[in-house]
Structure 1
C-alpha cells in the first residue's frame, strides 16, 4: 500500500502544510487565552480588548485551516482508494478464464467493497490521522517545553504509555479482523447466489429454507464483526484508562507548580488546555496504530493479488491473421485428473468454411472450443492455427468472436452492447440489425435506449440475436456459435440459420443439436460425437 502513498505524496505535503498553519493558530489560541485571563485578573481592560481581537483572529484562522485539513484528508483517501480499485480491476482482467473461475463472483465483489472499504478506514485514513496527531503532539510538546521543561517531560512520559497497548494485542487484533473479512466474503458470496437464483427460489417455494440459510450466514458475519469491534473497544478502553490516569497526574503536577510559584493563573490555564489537547491525540494514535496493525494481512493479500507473477504475459507471438486452418491433433482432456471428458479427438477447420459439432449432452463440445480459446490446456495432443501451436500465440481473442448459449448483456445502451464500445457507424449497425430481422431496433432512438442487466428490456430471441449481431459487427476471422438456436421460435431460428449460412469470408464453428437436416447439409462438415 506504500505505492499509493508515494503516488499521492503531493496531497500529503499539502496536508502537512495545512496542519502546520492550523496547529500554529491552535497554539496561538491557547497562549492568547492565558494572556487574556491574566489581563482580566489584573483589570487591564484596554489591553484585554486587543488580546481578545487577536484571539478571535487566531480562532478564525484555525477554523479555516481545519476545513482545508478535512478537504485534503478526504482527497488523499479518495485518490488512494480510486487507484487501488483500478489496480484490483486490472489484475482481475489479466486473469485467464481458468484463473478467474477459481474465485466466485461474491469473492471478487468482496474485494471491491468490503476489503477496499476496510483498507480505506483502517489504513489510508489512519495514515493521515497519524500525521495529524503526531504534528499536534510535536506542537503541543514544544509549547509545554516553552512553559515548563519538567512538566513537558512528565507529560510526554506518562501520556505515551497507551501507545504500547495495540502492539501487545497485535495478534488478537489481526485474528479478529481476518475472521471478520473471511466471514463477510462468504456472506457476500451466498447473497450473490441467492439473488441470482431468485426465480428458482420462487418456483420451488423454498423461500423459508433460503431465508434460514441467509440468517445463518448473516449471523456468522455479523458476529465476527461484533467480536472484532469488541476487541478493538477493549484495547481502546485500556488505552483510555491509562491515558486518563496519566492526565490526572500531569494536572496535579501543574497545580503543584502554581502553589510553588512557578506558574501564574494564565500559565496554569494554558498548561491544562495543552494537556487536554495532548491526551486525545495520544489516545487516537493508539487507535490508528491498532487499525493499521489489524489490516496487515489484508494489505499483504491485496498487494499480492495485484502483483501476481503468474498473471504475467507468457512468452509467445502475435499473429496478424488466420490464413489456412485450425487443427485439433489427438486431443484428450479431463478436469482435475478425473475421468477423461474425451480422448484422441482430431478435427480440421479450414479458413472460410462452415462446420457443425454435434454430440450427446455432456460429451464436451463446448469444452473443445474452450481448449481452442486457451481457457484450459489439453492433457494430450495439440491445437494448431496455421501449423502454430496455440499455446505459443498471445492474441487468440483478436481473431475469434464467440456467441454463447447464455447471452450476457451489460446494463447500458443498445448501441454499446452491440459495438462493445468500439467506434462503429450507425449505418453498419443498421445493416446487421436488418439482416437479423431486428428492424424495430434499426434506428437511433432504439440504439440509445438503456437495456437492463441481462437484457431485461429484450425477449429471449432478441437477446440471442443481439449477441450474434455484435459478433458479426466485430468482423473476425473465426466465429464460434455455442447453441445459438436453442430455445428460439421457428421464425427466429429460420432467420438465424439463413444468416449464418450466408456469411462470407468467415470460418464458422457451430455447436448445435437443433439444426434441421436440410440446413445441416449446407455446412461443409459435420463432426458428430456420441
Structure 2
C-alpha cells in the first residue's frame, strides 16, 4: 500500500466531517469567484442605468451579498475550527497507534533506538502530520477550485492573454517541482537532527544527578551544543532552500503582473479588450495568484508532514519479533518447573551470549546464578518471559514450550525484581498497585507489610498517597526496592526472578530487603542472580555461568568442596578481599 493510501485510511472515521469540510470549501471558493462576476454584471448592467434604478435595486444587491458573505463566514468558521478538530483527532489516533506499537516492540528495538528519537516521533512529527491532515486536502481542493474557476473566467474575457499566463504558470510549476525534491531531503534531515537534540536533552536530564556529582556540566554543554549546531545547520540549509523557492516563485508572480500590464495594455490599445474587462481580468488574476501562493506556502507544510509520516510508518510497519503464535494457549495452573533444553542466544549475529544451556529447575526450588560480568546470567533470565527469543533450543514451563503460550499469560506468571528499580510518576499506592491493576486498598497494604515498607509509608505525611517524584527521586534506593518487592507480592507470580536485587544497597537496607525476598520466595520457583554470595548460601542449587556456558553446578557445600571458580569467589569475599573485582573476566 502506498504512503498516500495509508495516510487516507486515517480519514475513514471522520468521512462525514471531511466531506462537509470540503463542501464548505466549495462554498467559500464559489463566493470568492462570484464577486468579480457580480462586479462585471453591475458595471455593464445596473450601474449604466439611471439614478432611480440604481437606488431602487442597490439595496437588494446589498442584502443578497450580505447573506452570501454571512454564509461564507459560517463556512470559514467550520473549516477553521472543525477542520482542525478533525486533524487533531487523526493526530490522536496516530499517536495511540504509535504508542501501542512501541508497547508491542521487543527489548531488541529499545536496545537499538533512543528514547528522545521515539519521543520526537510521538510529539513533534505527529503535530506536523496533523496540520497536513487538515490543511492538505482543504488547501489543495480550494486552491485547485479557484485556479480552475478563475482560469475559465479569464479565458472567457481574453483567450490570448490567458495563454500567456498559462505559459508563465507552467514555467513556475516546473521550477517548484525541481526545488520541491531538494526541499524534501532538507526536511527529512531536519527531522533527524531535532530527534538528536531531543535525545541529548533526554539523556542529560535523566542523568542530571550523575552530571552534577561529577561536575560535568561543561561536557554536557558540549554534547548538547554539538546536537544543537547540527540542527541549526540543517535548519539553515532548509531556510536557504526555502529562500530560493519563495524568491523564485515571487519572480514568476511578478512576471504574471508584468504580462497583464504590458499585454493587457496592448490589447486595449488595439481594441481587442476594453478597460472594464481588463479591470475584471485584474481581479481574477488576484484570485488566480492567491491560491497559487497558498499552494507554494503549503509546500513547506507538506514536506514536514510527509517526512513526519514516513518516520511514523518506519515504526508502525515494523513487525514485532516476539508475538503470540496463532492459536497460542493460556498458561494456566502454573507449577513452576522450568527447563532449558540446548538453549543458545546472541544479541547480534556471530557473537553468542549463551551456548547450549541445559538446566532443569524443579517447582518451588531456588536456583542461584553466579559468574563473571557479561557471562550471560541476566540474558538467561530475560529469555524466560520472552523479553528476547532463543536462537536455538527450547524453554519449557511445566513441560509447555513458552512459545506456545500467550505472552500475557506467560509474563503474568513471572515476577521480576531488579537492581535498577523503576518508579512511575504518581503515588506510592499507584506504584504498588501496578503489580495488580484494580487491587483493593487492603491488598495493597498487605503487600506493603510483606515487603516491610508499610511502617515507613505510614510515617509519611500523606501515607500511601505520597508522591514519589520522577523515577522515585524522593525515595532512597532501599525504599524503592521494597516498593518494587511489594509490587511483586501483589502480583503473586508462580515464578520469581531476582536480578541482583540487593547488590546496590547498604547493609541495613540489604538486611530488611533480604527478609522480604525470603518471604517472597517461599513456595515459588526462584532464580537468583547473585552478587553477594552470602545471600545464596541456602539456595537449592548454584550454577556458575562463564562466557555463556555452565561450568559448575551444585549446592554451596558441594561447590566449596570442588574448590573451583565459585569457591574462589566465595573465599575472596569472606577473606576481606573486596578490593578485587570478582566480576572481571
Coarse TM-score class (shorter-chain normalised): 0.7 to 0.9
1:461-489 deviation line (CA, Å, top 9, x unaligned): 22111111112211222121212223334
Match of 1:527 among 534, 540, 543: 543
Match of 1:486 among 493, 500, 503: 503
Given the superposition, is the C-alpha separation of residues 528 and 85 from structure 1 closer, same or farther in structure 2, using an over 3 Å criterion? same
Map 1:498-513; keep pairs closer than 5 Å.
498-503=515-520, 504-513=522-531
Map 1:324-363; keep pairs closer than 5 Å.
324-336=336-348, 341=353, 343-363=355-375
Distance in 1 between the 2:479 and 2:183 partners?
Answer: 53
1:133-164 deviation line (CA, Å, top 9, x unaligned): 11222443454456566665655554454222
1:338-396 deviation line (CA, Å, top 9, x unaligned): 66545554432222333333334443321220122333344555422222333444423
Task: Find the residue that maps to 2:295 and give its secondary structure.
Answer: helix
Quick check: 1:427 aligned with 2:462? Answer: no
Matched with 1:375 is 387
Distance in 2 between the 1:363 and 1:293 partners?
Answer: 48
Match of 1:26 among 8, 27, 32: 32
* Structure 1 residues without counterparts, runs of 5 or longer: none
Residue 219 of structure 1, CA deviation: 0.9
Matched with 1:2 is 8
Matched with 2:532 is 514
Distance in 1 between the 2:274 and 2:62 partners?
Answer: 22
Matched with 2:453 is 438
Alignment TM-score, normalising by the size of structure 2: 0.80
Q: Is the 8 A contact 2:322 2:386 kept in 1?
A: no
Given the superposition, is the C-alpha separation of residues 335 and 469 from structure 1 closer, same or farther in structure 2, using an over 3 Å criterion? same
Given the superposition, is the C-alpha separation of residues 332 and 325 from structure 1 closer, same or farther in structure 2, using an over 3 Å criterion? same
Given the superposition, is the C-alpha separation of residues 232 and 515 from structure 1 closer, same or farther in structure 2, using an over 3 Å criterion? same
What RMSD over aligned residues (CA atoms) do the two structures have, in Å? 3.3
Distance in 1 between the 2:423 and 2:37 partners?
Answer: 66
Given the superposition, is the C-alpha separation of residues 446 and 338 from structure 1 closer, same or farther in structure 2, using an over 3 Å criterion? farther
Given the superposition, is the C-alpha separation of residues 14 and 446 from structure 1 closer, same or farther in structure 2, using an over 3 Å criterion? farther
Residue 40 of structure 1, CA deviation: 6.1
Task: Find the residue that maps to 2:325 and give its secondary structure.
Answer: coil
1:51-82 deviation line (CA, Å, top 9, x unaligned): 33433343333233222221133123212222
Quick check: 1:320 aligned with 2:337? Answer: no
Distance in 1 between the 2:199 and 2:289 partners?
Answer: 43
Given the superposition, is the C-alpha separation of residues 437 and 124 from structure 1 closer, same or farther in structure 2, using an over 3 Å criterion? same
Distance in 2 between the 1:344 and 1:261 partners?
Answer: 93
Distance in 2 between the 1:217 and 1:43 partners?
Answer: 73
Map 1:161-310; keep pairs closer than 5 Å.
161-250=171-260, 252-253=262-263, 260=271, 263=274, 265=276, 268-289=278-299, 292=302, 299-309=309-319
Task: Find the residue that maps to 1:513 and give its secondary structure.
Answer: coil
Q: Is the 8 A contact 2:419 2:500 kept in 1?
A: yes
Q: Is the 8 A contact 2:253 2:289 kept in 1?
A: yes
Distance in 2 between the 1:422 and 1:116 partners?
Answer: 30
Given the superposition, is the C-alpha separation of residues 109 and 276 from structure 1 closer, same or farther in structure 2, using an over 3 Å criterion? same
Distance in 1 between the 2:358 and 2:462 partners?
Answer: 48
Distance in 1 between the 2:217 and 2:245 partners?
Answer: 42
1:249-297 deviation line (CA, Å, top 9, x unaligned): 23555556666385563x5444322210210211322443565467656
Distance in 1 between the 2:427 and 2:350 partners?
Answer: 43
1:314-339 deviation line (CA, Å, top 9, x unaligned): 53633422235101235454543566
Match of 1:453 among 443, 454, 470: 470
Matched with 2:17 is 11
Distance in 2 between the 1:188 and 1:497 partners?
Answer: 40
Given the superposition, is the C-alpha separation of residues 148 and 73 from structure 1 closer, same or farther in structure 2, using an over 3 Å criterion? farther
Q: Is the 8 A contact 1:34 1:269 kept in 2?
A: no
Residue 498 of structure 1, CA deviation: 2.5
Given the superposition, is the C-alpha separation of residues 309 and 516 from structure 1 closer, same or farther in structure 2, using an over 3 Å criterion? closer
Distance in 2 between the 1:419 and 1:453 partners?
Answer: 17
Q: Is the 8 A contact 1:140 1:274 kept in 2?
A: yes
Residue 231 of structure 1, CA deviation: 0.9
Matched with 1:127 is 137
Match of 2:485 among 465, 468, 492: 468
Distance in 1 between the 2:336 and 2:218 partners?
Answer: 58
Matched with 2:583 is none
Residue 426 of structure 1, CA deviation: 1.0
Q: Is the 8 A contact 1:126 1:289 kept in 2?
A: no
Residue 94 of structure 1, CA deviation: 1.6
Matched with 2:578 is none
Alignment TM-score, normalising by the size of structure 1: 0.87
Matched with 2:99 is 89
- Report the count of equivalent residues: 527
Given the superposition, is the C-alpha separation of residues 132 and 413 from structure 1 closer, same or farther in structure 2, using an over 3 Å criterion? farther
Task: Find the residue that maps to 1:373 and give its secondary structure.
Answer: coil
Q: Is the 8 A contact 2:450 2:519 kept in 1?
A: no
Distance in 1 between the 2:483 and 2:358 partners?
Answer: 32
Matched with 1:104 is 114
Task: Find the residue that maps to 1:484 and give its secondary structure.
Answer: coil
Residue 193 of structure 1, CA deviation: 1.9
Distance in 2 between the 1:51 and 1:165 partners?
Answer: 43
Match of 1:52 among 59, 62, 65: 62
Matched with 1:477 is 494
* Structure 2 residues without counterparts, runs of 5 or longer: 1-6, 546-564, 566-585
